[in-house]
Structure 1
Amino acid sequence: MRQNQARRMALLDAAIDVLAREGARGLTFRAVDAQAEVPGGTTSNYFASRDDLLTQAGSRIYEHMQPDVATMAKSLEGPRDRERVAGLMHDLVDRIGAYSVGYLALLELRLEATRRPGLRAVLTEQVKAIIGANVEYHVGTGLPGDAKTVELLYLAINWLIVERLTLPGVFTEDRMRQLVDGAVERIVPAAEG
């Protein structure tokens, strides 16, 4: 297998684009080569199999979705209250919306994982790790609520993102913002005092 890391990342990004546009069945080495505008056979030189490509594309999506250092620093500014959590949830929805290709590709991978135990195992571990890190961050920074709060927000906000990206006509952007605020209001405990 080839070791040019920049080329590997470009091929994975092309695979993500193909997944979002064509679905898992459309993800072939040839389709990735075309999307990446590289000579035919390039993708097969970097990935041992289609399963390998699917698994690594999933990991790459999560890399893209991680907030950067500036975003993380900004999340710690101000009081640790419900309003801060609502702001963080709005930022998350906006950040994922800006990378809609990745999220749509991830949905395709999740569906494909129901048929591929190896992919399911990898995605399961990634999602568990992400939820664990979110719980640790939320509780560790003094935001209101506990692990269950984070898990419920994760579930509510993820489905809201699915609606926004797959059926954007269901809710207006204004209504989506109201729904994020409503989810936080109902899930995150009020400040004591």
Structure 2
Amino acid sequence: MTDSVPHPGERPTRKRVNHYGTGRVALLDAAVRVVARGGLRKLTYRAVAEEAGVTHGLVVHHFGSRDALIEEAVTHAIRASLHSSALDIGTGRAADFAGGLPDMVDSGPELQAFQYELLLEARRRPELLAHLRALYEEYFQASARELDRILPGTVSRGLSRLVFAALEGLVLHQLVFGEREVTEEALGELRALLEARAAEG
């Protein structure tokens, strides 16, 4: 950080420090953090600008409307979570299933909290539901693809959704209670069940 040199009689001024960057992704990350801390009602251009260390006008320039900011932040959060969860790694081995889940929660708790905040808000604001459902389909499909690789035959939608619900519950509990070891134990049990079902087939 550098200070400007003051003229005689002027107070020194400091340059504004931007800890997160000014790009679109940095602004989306800032929006995620704002919502994770204070809920969707706290999401304003000014709050995002302050969190990112940029001007209010830059946020307006990138997104144009609050709804566009919300939609892009949801997409960003789910894609980032999918990438870090290793949910769809393609090995076809039950022992590898959801291997990145505990790390995903530890490394990005704001992403997870943001998504849960949006899910709850969608009950009050139905206009959010269609967008959230479309994006959650990415989670459902990633889980179903990996189960199809692990298990013989066709995996039913009910089984796929049951497994995903277990994973989502583990994420929520680790996020709230911080018990990573419980998540890992539960994932071990889930993998054992998948291995047993694969062996039956």
TM-score range, shorter chain: 0.7 to 0.9
Q: 1:26 aligns with which of 29, 39, 42?
A: 42
1:122 and 2:138 correspond: no
User: Any conservation in 2 of the 1:51–1:119 contact (CA below 8 Å)?
Assistant: no
Distance (whole Å) between structure 2 residues aligned to residue 20 and residue 73 of structure 1: 26
Identity percentage of aligned residues? 29
- Deviation by residue 1:120-166 (Cα, 9 ceiling, x = unmatched): 11010111233124313431xx3126244332111011111101101
Paired AA for residue 164 in structure 2: Y
Partner of 2:25 in structure 1? 9
**Matches of 1:37 and 1:126, distance apart in 2:** 29
Counterpart in the other structure of 1:3: none
Indicate whether 1:175 and 2:182 are aligned.
yes
Higher RCO (C-alpha 8 Å, min separation 6): 1
TM-score by length of 1: 0.78
Kindly indicate whether residue 143 of structure 2 is the aligned counterpart of residue 134 of structure 1: yes
Larger Rg, first or second structure (1 or 2): 2
Secondary structure class of the residue paired with 2:100: helix
Q: Is the 8 A contact 2:26 2:52 kept in 1?
A: yes
Which residues of 2 match residues 1-150 of structure 1 at below 5 A? 7-67=23-83, 75-76=90-91, 80=92, 84-139=93-148, 142-144=149-151, 146-147=155-156, 148-150=158-160
What secondary structure does 1:114 align onto?
helix
Give 5+ residue unaligned stretches, structure 2: 1-21
TM-score between both structures, scaled by the size of structure 2: 0.75
- Structure 1 residue ranges without an equivalent (≥5): 1-5
Q: How many residues align?
A: 175
